[in-house]
Chain A
Amino acid sequence: EPEVTQTPSHQVTQMGQEVILRCVPISNHLYFYWYRQILGQKVEFLVSFYNNEISEKSEIFDDQFSVERPDGSNFTLKIRSTKLEDSAMYFCASSEWTGEETQYFGPGTRLLVL
């Protein structure tokens, strides 16, 4: 069964460093999403992406974040200058359509900022 994959599974970085989290959505899906889950808290929506541009973004998704689909399969989240509070599990998801359809989540990347 097709699934969303994410790399790396874990990443440790120093505060102020840039990180890039990678995702490969399900191949025939058109909508892509990033979420984060700070330890012990809710899963929070960051951004959605469709047709090579950001579709919607939450207030969390500020200027330090960016997303890109550099080729036909990968979808990346870049955090430009990491802060301690960026430590969280980051989930990528994809869906065939928006709003009406199931979003399938990847296994997540656990980011630790020291």
Chain B
Amino acid sequence: SQQGEEDPQALSIQEGENATMNCSYKTSINNLQWYRQNSGRGLVHLILIRSNEREKHSGRLRVTLDTSKKSSSLLITASRAADTASYFCATAAMYSGGGADGLTFGKGTHLIIQP
């Protein structure tokens, strides 16, 4: 099954506007994390929201989590050209008592901020 699917796949907005990206997942999770990736570069961690949290803020970022709908959203307010990147959600499975489960990533949303 697909886990951590983002939509839209691509989003182009004007600088200064807000950008909203959504993520859906299928299994029970411990937490959900959002990452940014500039073209061909590494993954930069943006924010982590735990399964018992509903909303979290960090600077211009706002993340929501709805575990009943198995979905999350990432809002970037007052976007800047430097926000142009791909954004991924990644889920950590509910702890199974086994070991260190890896994150399951979505395909990402490619965000373009037009100056």
Contact = CB atoms under 8 A, between A and B. Distances in A.
Interface string B30-48: 1101010000111111001
B92 interface: yes
Contacts of B50: 100
Interface of B: 30-31, 33, 35, 40-45, 48, 50, 88, 90, 92-93, 95, 98-108
A107 B42 contact: yes
A102 B33 contact: yes
B45 A104 contact: yes
B48 A102 contact: yes
A110 B40 CA distance: 9
B77 to A, nearest CB: 22
Interface residues of A, number: 32
A56 B103 contact: no
Contacts of B44: 105
Contact of B88 (A43, A46, A89, A103): A43
A14 interface: no
B104 A45 contact: yes
A45 B103 contact: yes
